[in-house]
Structure 1
Amino acid sequence: MRRTLTTALVATAAVAAACTSPAVAAGDPVRAVDSATAALAALGARPDGSSTTGESYTVSRTVTELDGRTHLRLRRTVHGLPVRGGDVVVHLDRAHRATGIDGPAAVAPAVITPQVSVVAAASSARSAFRGTVATVDAPALVVDATEGGRLAWETVVRGWAPDGQTPSRLHVLADAATGAVYATEDEVRTVLGTGRTIYAGPVRIDTTPSVTAYQMIDPSHGGNRTCDMRNATSGPCLLFVDADNLWGNYSTTDRASAAADAHFASAKTYDYFKFIHNRSGRTGAGTGITSRVHYGNNYVNAFYDGAQLTFGDGIGNIRPLTSIDILAHELGHGYTDALVSLVYSGESGGIDEASSDIWGAMVEFYAAAPGDPGDYLIGEEADVLGAGEPFGNLFDPSLDGSSHSCWSLSTPGAEPHVSAGVGKHFFFNLAEGTGATAYGYSPLCGDVAGVVGIGRAKAEKIWYRALNVYALPSTKYVNTASPGTTMRAYTLAAAADLYGSCSIEHKTVQAAWTAVNVAGITVCGGP
């Protein structure tokens, strides 16, 4: 939940001390952490970051503004156990005085001794897996903040999805008192799926010369690599090599054509986040990624597994899923995960998927490829449905037959690809407006006012900042019990930070959420 100085901090001596400490130079991490732990003391934690309930905190990431304000993201443990979805973000002003805290309240369970054995937990996890099991990791005890501090066994089951080609690393959560499996989350996130490239047209790509040839290793973008799985699902991936540095022939008759699409798209995704959002690679350390193309046989999918990207060749192995928007969607999961580890279920999982489609569209605009101009369609080039249609869009996501364009009471329980539609529709309204636009017709959800968009450049900055500075792992679209912890609240805060309170941009964020039936906190007298 959202806590401010006036509601939770000012009344405590610990935070009062932090607020009266002398100003320090911006970027002083030691003083920032000292101020953050003092702020946490107001919530029952001692200045060393621990508490009488066994909670402790460690800094996982720090965001420092140009004006000296600092935002510290803290990981939480309880009696040494990791806390799922329990991140806390402490906001400090330029003098390192605490101005607010975001995160769930105390999550210490009443009992930390499991009633279910580790053997039983492993067995339950194996039974919950759908597909072919390869290995079952040893279950580990965790405290689940998304469930109010439930003590749980978390077991990672590794194997293959029912299609026999998609790898799976399924995290299974089982109640430590009853053994009942109550949640699952797969690390491998997929989307149905897209030099002389197949889709982007004639483009320039960065390669590395060897003694006798060129290798598809990109020295300008963190060492991005592109390799050929030769339509297998395991075994070595062969790096693409070419004698004359000309890759592909615009068709699938040359295996390098799809590779050039992927290599180009991965570079443009890298550049987009670096030059638009000042983030160098997924982790911020400038590291690139490997793209594996020609994976599986007639494999109509693409996925990011936390370490690399993988792309099938589609039905008949003639429509590789290597288009810009599909690759940027998959790689976008890596960037989003690095900003905030959204729990991949319900609305938080939907926000994760929405973010990837937003990044897919924004990278496509940024790339400005001659054969694939920017739009708000997803996967139209790969034609994965075989009907000449995209498998998704941002202006009216419900056109795919399953996604939610408007929030409803069924959205919280929907699968992430379905609930993602609400976030995608909001973003389109924010950027382009409602009604008839140059990119598609965006309907209103109910009897509400239309929205005039503020443009992509501002909308993408707001969404990124909301994830980077404010969002928590369990963030939802709607939370009536804690409306200050929603994506609506966080994008409003981001817009106020970037463009000013009650600015046109600030008001438009509010109107765009209202237009997709997402209610919550209101500002500036708006809906």
Structure 2
Amino acid sequence: MTPHFTVKPLALATLALSVTAALAAPPQADHPAVQRALNHLQAENARSLAGAGHDYSPRDLIVDADGSEHVRFARRYQDLPVIGGDVVVHSRASGTLRKLSQTLRAAPQLGTAATLDSEQAVVAARAAFGGEVQLPPQAQLAVYARGLKPRLAYDVSVSGTLANGAPSRSHIVVDAHSGRVLDRWDDLHTAAAVGTGKSLYVGTVTLNTDSLSTGGFALRDTTRGNHETHDLKGKDAYFGNPKSQVMKDADNAWGTGVQGNKSQSDGVDAAYGFATTWDFYKTRFGRSGIADDGRGGKSRVHASNWGGALYNAFWDDGCFCMTYTNQAGAGNGALVSLDVAGHEMTHGVTSNTAGLIYSGESGGLNEATSDIMGAMVERFANNASDPADYLIGEEPLNGSPFRNMIQPSVDGSSADCYYSGVGNIDVHYSSGVANHMFYILAEGSRPAGGPASPTCQASDTRVATGSATVTGIGHLDATAIYYRALTVYMTSNTNFAQARAAMISASSDLFGASSAQTQGVKAAWSAVNVN
């Protein structure tokens, strides 16, 4: 049985360790390094987010050649395991604390009485498993702390065969009050196959695929929620959910890089776009998929374009899937470019967070949110074949973007500035207000080495005519502020003025009310006449 230690004052051990190489071994209960680490945790309760009811179990010890110690602990709260609460204590050879490593964002402060019983949790987990259960599932009450706020949950272990035929020992985490599935992972860590794909827009890319027992490979990303890329083969996907199958290939070398309504390369770009969008949200914000529940969903290429009348890409919450139509019109490419993929899947993120209603000013914010994050997905990818910019959809349209965030009005319809009637125009055009704001916030109105963005004067409506200088705060801070505003402060009917207030609150949370970032938020919104 693994020993547990409650954080309490301990006498600092003085025994030095003598090793000549890095050592990794299970720690003993009385190991001096464990005692030193526990002493540090007691002294650093604020940093470790510990408090009453917390205790720790040592899981691992590494002692470097220079005597530095790294002790890993699992955390428990009120005798419940804390999923995502582990902490590593790093000490110098002298025994003094160097730092703590943890991903816990908030100290668990919650009741441990569940609304649902374990049998109800098992029913929810069975439904989510989606395959044939072979052994009786086991449910353990726990604290789920991988998100922004710890929650009481059941960790349900389900063993069986998934719908795709693969064996699985899944952990399915079920909220102990609502019954919602919060997370999922598998103890059978099968290796994903790694293939290559020739895309339409970003050159040759690496794809995580699934090796089939019958031979060949499926375009299924087992490392990102089992996301699948399907070929609709011209079926109509606007009304209903037509049957489709995951794309398959014999040698795991996908596509030729050539356009066409039967091109396998459309699937390459769709799979790459999903993977990059997933990694962007995971890396930047710790978000596990579009709904933050670990689901990968599907991307579907070659949907009907209704005889050329509909040239589109869209996210559909109903099927939890991304759809791209066939090409339409001479010279236009498939709408599977990276920024379009990031844009459309961000509609799913918005739907699962603020839920901005798709009309009026909230609709413009909804569209702008997707443009902003689509541009940031492209920047995150850092792909030399598709350099980052603030243009949306220029690749499939041969350099003529759907929207230009630097000066939205250049398309002849979008608005650079806020004015009283901006909420009455199409949401794809009113989005220009927030797009323009974000460019100025991230890059500034006159960035060195980048295109200048005219600011708005008081009398300006659709077209900005000002020349004020606003200093940018950088795209990383700007993106962090916008995401927190979206997920924490915005609601379904947020307008532009309320979005300004939401971003000020978000920036104050992240950087402080008097910070340069918060002052930058105020200046950027003022630059588009939102005060």
Which TM-score applies when normalising by structure 1? 0.60
Question: Which residue of structure 2 lines up, in the alignment, with residue 123 of structure 1?
Answer: none
Deviations 1:270-328 (A, max 9, x none): 01001101110122111112111111147411111112111123324861100000011
SS in 1 for 2:496: coil
Percent identity of paired positions between Structure 1 and Structure 2? 39
Q: Following the alignment from structure 1 to structure 2, what is the Cα–Cα distance between the partners of residues 429 and 30?
A: 44
Name which of 416, 421, 427 aligns with 1:410. Answer: 421
* Stretch moving more, 373-382 or 428-437: 428-437
Distance 1:340 1:438 in 2: 35
CA distance in structure 1 between the partners assigned to 2:435 and 2:150 by the alignment = 30
Alignment of 1:304-343 (within 5 A): 304-306=315-317, 307-316=320-329, 319-343=333-357
Who is 1:250 aligned against? Answer: 257
2:279 aligned with 1:271: yes
In 1, the alpha carbon distance for the partners of 2:276 and 2:520 equals 29
Answering whether residue 350 of structure 2 is matched by residue 347 of structure 1, we say no
Q: Does 1:462 align with 2:497?
A: no
Q: In 2, Cα distance between the equivalents of 1:388 and 1:467? A: 30
Q: CA deviation at 1:438?
A: 3.9
Query: What letter corresponds to residue 488 of structure 1 in structure 2?
Result: R
Equivalent in the alignment of 1:425: 436
Q: Within 5 A, what are the aligned runs for 1:139-178?
A: none
1:437 positional shift: 5.3
Given that 1:435 and 1:444 are in contact with CA atoms closer than 8 Å, whether structure 2 keeps it comes out as: no
Which residue in the other structure is 2:501 paired with? Answer: 489
Q: Find the aligned partners of 2:409 and 2:277 in 1 and give their Cα distance.
A: 27
- The one-letter code of the counterpart of 1:243 is A
- Please name the residue that 2:245 is paired with: 238
User: Structure 1 pair 429/263, CA: closer, same or farther in 2 (3 Å)?
Assistant: same
**1:459-480 CA distances to partner (integer Å, 9 max, x unpaired)?**
00000001111111111113xx
Per the alignment, residue 208 of structure 1 pairs with: 210
1:489, CA displacement in angstroms? 0.6
1:11-410 to structure 2, matched below 5 A, reads 26-30=107-111, 195-211=197-213, 212-234=215-237, 235-252=242-259, 255-297=263-305, 299-306=310-317, 307-316=320-329, 319-383=333-397, 388-410=399-421
CA distances 1:407-443 after superposition (whole Å, capped 9, x unpaired): 0111122221111111111111000000355443311
Any conservation in 2 of the 1:448–1:514 contact (CA below 8 Å)?
A: no
The one-character-per-residue Cα deviations of 1:217-265 (angstroms, maximum 9, x if unpaired) are 0011111111111122154223210011001111125611111001001
Q: Is the 8 A contact 2:445 2:468 kept in 1?
A: no
CA RMSD of aligned residues (A): 2.7
Residue 482 of structure 2 corresponds to residue 475 of structure 1: no
Rounded Cα–Cα distance in structure 1 between residues aligned with 2:487 and 2:367: 16
Q: Quick one: which amino acid aligns to residue 495 of structure 2?
A: K
Q: Alignment partner of 1:375: what SS?
A: coil
**Tell me, what secondary structure is at the counterpart of 2:452?**
strand
- The structure-2 alpha-carbon separation of the partners of 1:32 and 1:452, relative to structure 1 and needing over 3 Å to count, comes to farther
Amino acid at match of 1:500: G
CA contact (8 A) 1:63 1:469 kept: no
2:446 counterpart of 1:435: yes
SS in 2 for 1:412: helix
Contact 1:203 1:369 in 2 (8 A): no
Q: Distance in 2 between matches of 1:252 and 1:448?
A: 42
Q: What is the match of residue 3 of structure 2?
A: none
Query: Which has the larger displacement, 280-289 or 455-464?
Result: 280-289
> Aligned AA for 1:268?
T
Structure 1 distance, partners of 2:220, 2:340, is: 20
Task: Tell me: CA distance 1:26–1:393, structure 2 relative to 1, closer, same or farther (3 Å).
Answer: same
Decide whether aligned partners of structure 1 residues 239 and 316 sit closer, same or farther in structure 2, where only a CA change above 3 A counts. farther
Any stretches of 5+ residues in structure 1 without a counterpart?
Answer: 1-24, 34-61, 71-194, 479-485, 520-527
Aligned to 2:8: none
Taking a change above 3 Å as real, the CA distance of residues 437 and 256 of structure 1, as seen in their structure-2 partners, is: farther
Q: How far apart in 2 are the matches of 1:69 and 1:32? A: 14
Letter aligned with residue 373 of structure 1: P
Conserved? CA contact 1:201–1:370, under 8 Å: no
- C-alpha contact 2:198 2:256 (8 A) present in aligned 1: yes
Q: Which runs of 4+ in 1 moved over 6 A?
A: 62-70
Q: Please report the TM-score for the alignment, with normalisation by the length of structure 2.
A: 0.59
d(CA) in 2 for partners of 1:224, 1:433:
37
Give the AA of the match of 1:206: N
Task: Give the residue type in structure 1 aligned to 2:209.
Answer: T
Deviations along 1:458-503, one digit per CA (max 9) or x if unpaired, are: 000000001111111111113xxxxxxx011110111111111111
Q: Distance in 2 between matches of 1:226 and 1:438?
A: 39
Pairwise CA distance, 1:66: 10
- In structure 2, the CA distance between the partners of 1:276 and 1:474, relative to structure 1 (3 Å rule), is same
The aligned amino acid for 2:328 is I
Counterparts in 2 of 1:436 and 1:505: CA distance versus 1, 3 Å: closer
Whether the aligned pair in 1 keeps the contact of 2:235 and 2:303 (CA below 8 Å) is yes
For 1:495-510, list aligned pairs within 5 A.
495-510=507-522
The one-letter code of the counterpart of 1:260 is V
Alpha carbons 2:225, 2:294 under 8 Å: kept: yes
Report the CA distance shift for 1:66/1:449 in structure 2 as closer, same or farther (over 3 A): farther
Take 2:111 and 2:427, find their aligned partners in 1: how far apart are those partners? Answer: 39
Alpha carbons 1:207, 1:214 under 8 Å: kept: yes
Secondary structure of the structure 2 residue equivalent to 1:440: coil
How many Å apart are 1:31 and its aligned residue? 9.7
In the TM superposition, residue 65 of structure 1 has moved relative to its aligned partner by 11
Name the structure, 1 or 2, with higher relative contact order (CA <8 Å, separation 6+): 1
Distance 2:393 2:199 in 1: 16
Change (3 A) 1:336 1:67: closer
Relative to structure 1, is the Cα distance of residues 65 and 432 closer, same or farther in structure 2, using a 3 angstrom cutoff? Answer: farther
